[in-house]
């Protein structure tokens, strides 16, 4: 089973990073709304992260704040498209379907 982690990230504005294991990397999205099962969450694609972030908490290189683990567990892909990503989570906090809407741009996370 592939693993996931949701990290609270305090830089440049508070948000959550959803990281999903895919092969030898973690695919990543920035989410400004607190993840909730059954909600469609606006999200931005982010660069792939190293697998070490599955278990990492602490400072981020380059002075980009700190991350702390908010949730973690295993998941199954439901949809993996250019406009929407959906996964079934089995985590410590979240159990069920979470959907990311990549078309919505009503939020901004600093560059």
pLDDT digits (tens, 9 = 90+) for 6-64: 999 999 999 999 999 999 999 999 998 999 999 999 999 999 999 999 999 999 989 99
Alpha-carbon gap, residue 43 to 84, rounded angstroms: 9
pLDDT at 76: 98
Q: How many CA atoms lie within 13 A of 104 on its CB side?
A: 15
Q: For 91-107, how does the pLDDT look when each residue is reduced to its tens digit (9 = 90+)?
A: 999 999 999 999 865 54
């Amino acid at each position: 089973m592939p693993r996931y982690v949701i990290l609270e990230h305090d830089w440049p504005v508070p948000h959550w990073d959803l990281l999903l294991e895919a092969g030898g990397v973690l695919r990543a999205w920035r989410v400004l709304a607190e993840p909730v099962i059954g909600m469609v969450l606006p999200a931005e694609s982010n660069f792939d992260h190293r697998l070490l972030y599955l278990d990492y908490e602490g400072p981020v290189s380059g002075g980009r704040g700190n991350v702390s683990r908010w949730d973690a567990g295993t998941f199954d892909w439901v949809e993996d498209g250019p406009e929407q990503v959906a996964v079934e989570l089995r985590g410590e906090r979240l159990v069920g379907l979470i959907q990311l809407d990549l078309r919505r741009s009503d939020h901004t996370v600093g560059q």
